[in-house]
Amino acid sequence: MANAAVSAEAKSGGISRREFLYYIWGASIALYAAQFSGLLIWFLLPRFREGEFGGKFVISVSELPPINAEPVNVPAGRFWLVNLDTRQENVLMKKAPDESDEIIGVAAIYKVCTHLGCIYTWTAANNRFECPCHGSKYRLDGRRIESPAPRSLDRFRMEFLDADRNPIPGTLSEEVGDFYAPVQVPDNAAFISVDTGDRKMGLSEDLICSFTNECP
């Protein structure tokens, strides 16, 4: 009788009890694996809090440097804040001969040299950023002055916030040539938010020293 039942079940196109149990068992294993994988990914993904490198830093606009003045150092965020305006050129910030557009606004510049990852500093005596490891030099906005740096300094994405810390429309860093352009300070800005988890590599522009024939 059992063989007859199995034969009839096979002819009817149904599945046996054993096959049904196999399917249930396989589905349970697949569900468990998916849940375990999801938990593992959630655990491994980095989660950064505000004010922690890799996350966002909110800074009062009162802490911004004056236009074309020495940069402000934000050690916890590993960046410099600069306030640029080539319409008001001075010894710290002047346009290079190949720059036709004005450079205006605030930028957040990563504090790591693009050559071999050393920490460069602002050298007030020479009005520029200088790397102590191999001598790379950069203008106030991070553009290369002298090699061996292969490109200008990297920048973080930023935007301005109002007094309630709400994003101000139109102030999120704009991508120009796959790089973050400076952002002009709006009248109602109270804070600046810098996202250290969103970085663009600096551009490989001509060395500024090449225009003056002063490259070593």
pLDDT digits (tens, 9 = 90+) for 33-54: 666 555 555 555 566 676 677 8
Whole-angstrom distance, CA of residue 55 vs CA of residue 164 = 20
Q: Is 171 exposed, middle or buried (0-12, 13-18, 19+ CB in 10 A)?
A: buried
Q: What single DSSP character describes residue 39?
A: H
Q: Which is more confident, 212 or 64?
A: 64
Residue 6, pLDDT above cutoff 50:
no
Residue 141, pLDDT above cutoff 70:
yes
Confidence (pTM): 0.77
Residue 62 C-beta-side C-alpha neighbours within 13 Å: 2
Q: Considering only the C-alpha atoms of the chain, give the largest distance between any 2 of them, rounded to a whole number of Å.
A: 101
Closest CA to 84 of 111, 112, 64, 104: 104
Residue 103 and residue 73 in contact, taking contact as beta carbons nearer than 8 Å: no
Closest CA to 123 of 106, 110, 140: 140
Share of the chain above pLDDT 90, in %: 73
